[in-house]
Chains A and B, each alone.
Chain A
Amino acid sequence: MPPEYGSSAEGFFGRHRNSVVLAGALFAQIVGLAAQVKRPVDPRHPDSGSVRLIRMWTVAVLTPFERAIVSTGHGVRGFWSGYVDLHAVHEENKRLRQENQELKLQQALWNEDASQAHRLQTLIDFKQHFIHQTLPAQVIGSSGTDLSRVLYLDRGARDGVKPDMAVVTPDGIVGKISRTFATTSQVLMISDPTSGVGGLLESSRLHGIVRGTASGDVALRYIMQEETVQKGERVVTSGGDRIFPKGLQVGMIKEISRGGDGFYNLTIAPAANLNRLEEVLIVTEISNDSLLAESNEAPQRAAELLAKRLPTVKKNPANEIKDEPEKPVKKSTSTPAVDEKVTKPTTSAAVPKTAPAQAKADAKQEQPVR
């Protein structure tokens, strides 16, 4: 009978109201989570509309405070250093009058100017060599948890920032823009487990993927154990991810161990101090030259590899054949083994754009040898 059903239902909800609300709240969140997990991830639009809205609200509420704190901090620091400078000038004047040490003081000032000029020169050189256009930005916040390593910058879509732009410092790479808001953007750091950057061992030219680990370290993955890797070897960006220009510093190999999957576990000490970032550069435009350089470099890289591994073959065999086409080239006894090693991809298929190029170039280089 309806009244009885109603009363029993009311009784049930009355008795288990807390548990029912808990179950409802958990169920709603689990469904929401499942919907996000199932959704195909587009790097440029990783969120659905409603998810993006929640993130926008949070960022809109929190970042003005963070921005205010950062700018107040800079103001206070500026005022304090200004005061100290004034005080120092006063003291210096006194000392000049009393001790007549003008030359000594002048020298100290020159030293300071010289170091500042050196820092600026480093920054300018860095910009000229690799990157066409950058946008300086202040770091104003983080996720606040070790489980997701992201930063928030004070530049957003209004400043022309877009997802997948590289974020760097003159010391090394930091991460990439993962989400943009009107005046703020989120940076996914290279130490986050979900990040991935095309990496290259500078001396051996082996390609791998730079990834974050759950413990917050940065690792280079997919370098096969049959290759030789040394501690202290520099890791640079390979340019294969089409986000970071080729040749930017990632860090140095800090630890080497062998994994059970046939690859090394290489831990990298990042070149940029990821725990202490205040100002960064957003790469808004990559120079076309750097992309061209990458496509032109594949044969040269293969040639270097061959020369390194086949001491009997001269550095640029292609030119040698061109100059003296009739001269036969003897095949070295070690050639098959080395050829096999060179043509075999040294990385996983996760670097699709560079590995075939290298294989093609290697094939070109192999012809004159045979």
Chain B
Amino acid sequence: MALSITSREQFEVYRFNPVVAIAVPLLAIFIQAYLPLKVSFFNIFDLPLLVTIFFAVARRNPIAGLLTGMIIGLVQDSLTHSFLGLFGISKTVVGFAASSLGVKIDVENPGSRLLMAAGFYLVQKIVYFVVARGMAGMEMPLDLPHSFGAALANGFLAIVLFALLDKTKQRS
């Protein structure tokens, strides 16, 4: 498994067609909102998170990454019954961290994608937990075994999803 640290010049920076940049996150949020009605266990996945990671890593621009995360997170928040900003804050952090990571290490191969997606799932979970409990005073137990399982499931989904989304990349 190659998590090689290389110089910035060796990585490709990608851009996306504006239609793709808007439609893919919206499609991810739409699927995330619709599919659990038919397949209840689909709630374990977090497609908007995976899309946030993908765009952040491919653009390798921390500001673009955090803004993508923030917008996707806020849209996701607005579908819930909770306060706006819980997913927004956690996905902002993930977007920033993913793009910063993309600048420093190779995240193009399946192994590193699995680890990255699983790791950022846990990061999001922890940030959400801290903000929800610390700021919003919400009752929220942190179920670690379930979280690790979900992180792994998201990691495997990321391998497939990122391979599909690679086709939408354009060299910058």
What residues make up the interface of A, taking CB atoms closer than 8 Å to B? 17-18, 21-22, 25-26, 29-30, 32-34, 36-37, 51, 54-55, 57-59, 61-62, 65-66, 69, 139-152, 178-179, 186, 188, 192-194, 214-215, 275-278
Chain A minimum-CB-distance residue to B67? A25
Q: Given the complex, which residues of B lie within 8 Å of A145, measured CB to CB? A: 32, 43, 46, 76, 80, 87
A115–B10 alpha-carbon span in the complex (Å): 68
Cβ contact within 8 Å between A54 and B78: yes
A140: chain B residues within 8 A (beta carbon): 34
**For the complex, what is the distance from the CA of A147 to the CA of B83, rounded to whole Å?**
12
Q: Is B82 in contact with chain A by the CB < 8 A criterion?
A: yes
A276 to chain B, nearest CB (A): 7
B74 A37 Cβ-Cβ under 8 A: no
Q: Main SS of the interface on chain B? A: helix
Residues of chain A with a CB closer than 8 A to B140's CB: 147, 214
> Is B128 on the interface with A (CB-CB < 8 A)?
yes
Q: Do A29 and B139 touch across chains, with their CB atoms under 8 A apart?
A: no
Q: Known contacts A18-B62, A276-B40: does B92 contact A26 (CB below 8 Å)?
A: yes
Binding site for A on B (CB under 8 A): 26, 29-30, 32-34, 36-37, 40, 43-44, 46, 48, 62-63, 66-67, 70, 74-76, 78-89, 92-93, 96, 100, 128, 131-132, 135-141, 143
Q: What A residues does B40 contact at CB under 8 A?
A: 275-276
Chain A residues with CB under 8 A of B36: 142, 144
Q: Given A141-B34, A142-B33 in contact, is the A148-B70 Cβ separation under 8 Å?
A: no
Quick one: which of A51, A66, A149, A277 contacts B33, CB cutoff 8 A? Answer: A66
A62 touches B29 (CB 8 A): yes
Contact A142–B135 (Cβ < 8 Å): no
Contacts of A22 in B (CB 8 A): 62, 66, 92, 96
- The residue from B34, B66, B139 contacting A25, defined by CB atoms under 8 A apart: B66
What residue in chain B is nearest A56 (Cβ atoms)? B78
State in angstroms the CA–CA spacing of A140 and B35 once bound together. 10
Q: Could you tell me the distance between the alpha carbons of A140 and B36 in the complex, rounded to whole angstroms?
A: 11
Whether A188 pairs with B81 at a CB distance below 8 angstroms is yes
- In the complex, the chain A residue whose C-beta lies closest to that of B62 is A18
Q: Which residue of chain B lies nearest to A29 when distances are taken between CB atoms in the complex?
A: B85
In contact, B135 and A214 (Cβ under 8 angstroms): no
Contacts of A18 in B (CB 8 A): 62-63, 96, 100
Q: How far is the CA of A141 from the CA of B76 in the complex (A)?
A: 13
Do A144 and B89 touch across chains, with their CB atoms under 8 A apart? no
A36 with B83: CB separation less than 8 A: yes
Known: A139-B37, A145-B43, A277-B37. A150 touches B80 (CB 8 A): yes
Within 8 Å CB of A150, what residues of B? 79-81
Whether the Cβ atoms of A62 and B30 lie closer than 8 Å is yes
Which of B43, B63, B136 gathers most chain A CB within 10 Å?
B43
CB-nearest residue of chain B relative to A21? Answer: B63
Between-chain CB contacts (< 8 Å), 11 pairs? A29-B88, A29-B92, A51-B84, A59-B78, A141-B37, A144-B76, A144-B79, A192-B81, A194-B82, A276-B40, A277-B37
Which residues of the partner chain A approach B131 to less than 8 Å between Cβ atoms?
33
| A residues less than 8 Å from B137 (CB atoms) | 37
C-alpha gap A66/B48 in the complex (Å): 17
CB of B66 within 8 A of CB of A21, answer yes
